[in-house]
Chains A and B, each alone.
Chain A
Amino acid sequence: MKPSRAILVCCAALALALAWVIRIGFPELGETRIPQGQSASFSGMELRLERLSPVESLPPGFEGGDPNLPVPGAVYLVAEFSLAGDPEPNSSCWAYLAGEGRGWNETFQSLPSGFYQRCGDAPSGQVTKVFEVPKRALGEVGGVWISFSKTDGEPEAEVQAADRVFFEAAGPLG
């Protein structure tokens, strides 16, 4: 074995370890980060995170929001977005709450009437995404990932284009 090969492999191993720690430990590094209160745009729509805060119960009117109380030990985290612009047909967006090495998909959402598939094909208005998270995990929540996508419009349609942005929480939640 030539020493140069051994050095090369050692360098590759160190590079992998570093890349792993960065990508898994700090997934939002190098991604598009939008501070709370600023807008991200995709496929004709503009989305802005207005508020991210925990609540103990939900008001009526949420899609599937019954019961309106979280399970024991958990809390609802409400992300309020404002939507502007004129989204193209079959475009959509969905949310994922970012913790440390883990995350939570949206549990409920409140959409303006006429909404199709989470965000797209809708008039402007307010979109509220609700996450149910363990109370003990509130301190690790750093923000919300929003995945925008555009499909060919069929059921189980192929995603034609996708984009992700990270909406940063204004401050610590827990």
Chain B
Amino acid sequence: MSALSQLLHELWLLLARFTKIPRTVWGSLAVAMTASWVAYFGSILIAGEVIVAMPWLLIGCLSLGLVAQLSAVIYALRTLLGGGAKFGDALAETMLPFLSVYWAFGFVDGIIHNVMDVINARFGFFYFADTINSMNPLSSPVVLVGVIAVLVASFVLRRWLEWRYDKTGRNVVGLASAVVEAVFLFLLGISGFRIVSWVMLWLGDRNLASWLDQALAWIKAAIHIDFPEFLAAGWEAVGVPLANMVFLPIAWLALAGVVAGVKAPKLAELWGAERSQLGSLRKALLAVVDAVYNDIDDKVLPFVYSLRRVFQAGWPFLGGYVLLFHMLHWLGGSLDGWIATLITLSGSNPLLLMPLGGLLDQVVITGLQLLLLAAAFQRVEELRLAKAPSPTPGWLNALLVGAVLAAVACAQSLTTGFGGASRAAVGEVVKVGRSEVGVSDARMGDEVVIGQDAEHSDQLFVVVRLSVFNAYPANSVTLSLSAGGSDYAPWDGISYYRSLPGFRSSCDVVFEVERSALAGGASIRAESAGYAAEFALGELAPVASVTANVLIEEVAP
């Protein structure tokens, strides 16, 4: 059997398992997913209430919501898999990878955007901005000390709760430990990046940064390749689509494996000896690892071994599973889009109906996704026990499956793009998330005139007219220009555009682009809240000078 027919066979097997799910399991799944939906929107609603009293409670609310969601997912998976790891163990082992997956693939951004929408609608954008500012650890020494104190305290508290859980085995202690861990990770994510930014700025002012710039310039001159640019373009072209297409479904399946109870050895066992028998260097290293991150045994290794188990199932199975996973998400995305269109057409407040859209995504689609995960992991185990050798070499299977996935991804990108981007022409106005975005009047020149100033460059200036309209408070829109395999940010450094509710804001946006990059055409990409639209610029003839009006003009249509 060729790799392609094996892939189709695996896809068919997974589909067939859906029909064999007992009716009683459907009920349990629906209840668990509804509980997850309640946790998600309940935490957003409560966050909107408590933020007035104390902004920091936002982190506690979101942490509670995420742990409740994870608990529902684990409960549902345990029901579908017919057992597996003990609930508290599964919770402890999946919290870190679950949040990592959520963070890496934009789910945490999603919940924060939803909270922002609720606060914007109730209190206005300035209130939210003030609130977020007050949570900046660099805004005052008191906040900085407070953040560090809470981070340390939550780390110590979690370690104590885990110790108590190991002693007592009570699920409620495991739950409390997971909540504290989520608070720790959220705080680190929300406040930690500001400290990292500050450190990067500080480093940028040091001599070390100029030495590094000189070294990179020397390398660029020697090999004629801008290495950081090359890496960024490579990641954008290959890494991001690959992550969305392959890593997300595989990470979810590995999480299901952890819940199913995949056994992983301890770090000491991997090093070939019990801890007491380890050499002094290894023991010291292990002690450092323990002190900084004692969770390697409990949280990292189970996920890594589950991931390994998933990969052992073979490329044809992975190809079939990944395709099915994306079919499901394509269905969810399409239904979501139709509901959003219906809400817009009805003129209703989208925020009021937000949980209705979430009901479809979080109960129906996520429920089906969990069914798929359970079926897929059971198939992983069957394949492991069968240990049937593949008639074709592994590399050939990988190549064939890769080619199929790439073909599907290309087909998908022809209609919606990898990131779900809709195609539009210059002059059109399209819906991007909750915003209506238009790009018009594209032109390019050797010189751009902004107000009284004329700017010259060895490269070309591309100017487009951007318009953004929101009937209700909505997320901001980011704009970039894609040409010659590179993405260009707006020349003036403005990273986002928005409009007040009921207003249409327009302004010219200027990009400075390599002349050679424009030979193959260019497009403008507008993104908002995970949605995107690409406006193909078509053929543009450069002129000597173009004028840009970067001041924002508003009308209330």
A96 CB-CB contact with B under 8 Å: yes
Task: Evaluate contact between B555 and A72: CB separation under 8 angstroms.
Answer: yes
Given A6-B31, A135-B556, A136-B502, A16 and B136 touching (CB < 8 A)? no
Minimum CB distance partner of B40 in chain A: A16
Given A25-B352, A101-B351, A156-B133, A16 and B140 touching (CB < 8 A)? no
Minimum CB distance partner of B349 in chain A: A101
> Which residues from chain B contact A154 at a C-beta distance below 8 Å?
140
Given A12-B38, A74-B556, A24 and B134 touching (CB < 8 A)? no
Q: Is the interface of B mostly helix, strand, loop or mixed?
A: helix
Number of residues of chain B lying within 8 A (CB) of chain A: 48
B440 CB-CB contact with A under 8 Å: no
Binds A, one of B44-52, B289-297, B541-549: B44-52
Minimum CB distance partner of B131 in chain A: A159
Given A1-B28, A102-B473, A156-B136, A13 and B38 touching (CB < 8 A)? yes
B526 CB-CB contact with A under 8 Å: no
Binds A, one of B118-126, B185-193, B223-231, B309-317: B118-126
Closest CB-CB distance, B446 to chain A, in whole Å? 34
B130 CB-CB contact with A under 8 Å: yes
Given A23-B49, A156-B139, A9 and B31 touching (CB < 8 A)? yes
CA distance A10 to B32 in the complex (A): 11
B127 CB-CB contact with A under 8 Å: yes
CA distance A50 to B126 in the complex (A): 24
CA distance A159 to B121 in the complex (A): 21
Minimum CB distance partner of B48 in chain A: A23
Given A136-B556, A158-B143, A1 and B503 touching (CB < 8 A)? no
Identify A21's interface contact among B48, B352, B553, CB under 8 A.
B352
Given A72-B556, A134-B502, A10 and B45 touching (CB < 8 A)? no
Flag B522-557 by CB within 8 Å of A: 1 or 0 each.
Answer: 000000000000000000000000000000011111
> Which residues from chain B contact A135 at a C-beta distance below 8 Å?
556
Closest CB-CB distance, B298 to chain A, in whole Å? 29
Task: Evaluate contact between A5 and B31: CB separation under 8 angstroms.
Answer: yes
Task: Evaluate contact between A147 and B127: CB separation under 8 angstroms.
Answer: yes
B261 CB-CB contact with A under 8 Å: no
Task: Evaluate contact between B502 and A133: CB separation under 8 angstroms.
Answer: yes
Given A24-B349, A24-B351, A105-B125, A1 and B31 touching (CB < 8 A)? yes
CA distance A137 to B38 in the complex (A): 32
Minimum CB distance partner of A25 in chain B: B352
Minimum CB distance partner of A102 in chain B: B501
Given A23-B45, A101-B349, A13 and B28 touching (CB < 8 A)? no
Minimum CB distance partner of B504 in chain A: A73
A108 CB-CB contact with B under 8 Å: no
Identify A24's interface contact among B27, B118, B130, CB under 8 A.
B118
Minimum CB distance partner of B27 in chain A: A1
Given A17-B355, A159-B130, A73 and B45 touching (CB < 8 A)? no
CA distance A20 to B130 in the complex (A): 24
Flag A64-77 by CB within 8 Å of B: 1 or 0 each.
Answer: 00000001111000
CA distance A103 to B117 in the complex (A): 12
Task: Evaluate contact between A12 and B35: CB separation under 8 angstroms.
Answer: yes
Task: Evaluate contact between A157 and B502: CB separation under 8 angstroms.
Answer: no
Task: Evaluate contact between A71 and B352: CB separation under 8 angstroms.
Answer: no
Task: Evaluate contact between A164 and B31: CB separation under 8 angstroms.
Answer: no
Task: Evaluate contact between B501 and A103: CB separation under 8 angstroms.
Answer: yes
Flag B138-180 by CB within 8 Å of A: 1 or 0 each.
Answer: 0110110000000000000000000000000000000000000
Closest CB-CB distance, B360 to chain A, in whole Å? 14
> Which residues from chain A contact B511 at a C-beta distance below 8 Å?
none
Task: Evaluate contact between A20 and B41: CB separation under 8 angstroms.
Answer: yes
Task: Evaluate contact between B124 and A103: CB separation under 8 angstroms.
Answer: yes
Minimum CB distance partner of B356 in chain A: A17
Closest CB-CB distance, A135 to chain B, in whole Å? 7
Chain B 18-52 interface residues, beta-carbon cutoff 8 Å to A: 24, 27-28, 31, 34-35, 37-38, 41-42, 45, 48-49, 52
> Which residues from chain A contact B325 at a C-beta distance below 8 Å?
none
Chain A 124-167 interface residues, beta-carbon cutoff 8 Å to B: 132-137, 145, 147, 152, 154, 156-159, 162, 164
> Which residues from chain A contact B124 at a C-beta distance below 8 Å?
96, 103-105, 145
Identify B502's interface contact among A6, A105, A137, A162, CB under 8 A.
A137
Task: Evaluate contact between A157 and B140: CB separation under 8 angstroms.
Answer: yes
Minimum CB distance partner of B501 in chain A: A102
Flag B456-493 by CB within 8 Å of A: 1 or 0 each.
Answer: 00000000000000011100000000000000000000
Closest CB-CB distance, A8 to chain B, in whole Å? 9
Most buried by B among A99, A103, A132, A159: A103
A27 CB-CB contact with B under 8 Å: yes
B500 CB-CB contact with A under 8 Å: yes
Minimum CB distance partner of B46 in chain A: A19
CA distance A66 to B140 in the complex (A): 35
CA distance A136 to B557 in the complex (A): 9
Minimum CB distance partner of A5 in chain B: B31
Interface residues of chain A, those whose CB is within 8 Å of chain B, are 1, 5-6, 9-10, 12-13, 16-17, 19-21, 23-25, 27, 71-74, 94, 96, 99-105, 132-137, 145, 147, 152, 154, 156-159, 162, 164
The 9 closest A-B pairs by CB, nearest first: A101-B349, A73-B556, A134-B556, A134-B502, A102-B501, A1-B28, A74-B556, A96-B124, A71-B554
Q: Would you give 7 A-B contacts (Cβ < 8 Å), ordered by A?
A: A13-B37, A74-B503, A102-B501, A103-B124, A105-B126, A152-B140, A158-B142
Interface residues of chain B, those whose CB is within 8 Å of chain A, are 24, 27-28, 31, 34-35, 37-38, 41-42, 45, 48-49, 52, 79, 118, 121-127, 130, 133-134, 136, 139-140, 142-143, 349-352, 355, 471-473, 500-503, 553-557
Question: What would 5 more interface pairs be, CB under 8 Å, given A1-B27, A96-B124?
Answer: A74-B555, A96-B126, A96-B127, A102-B349, A104-B124
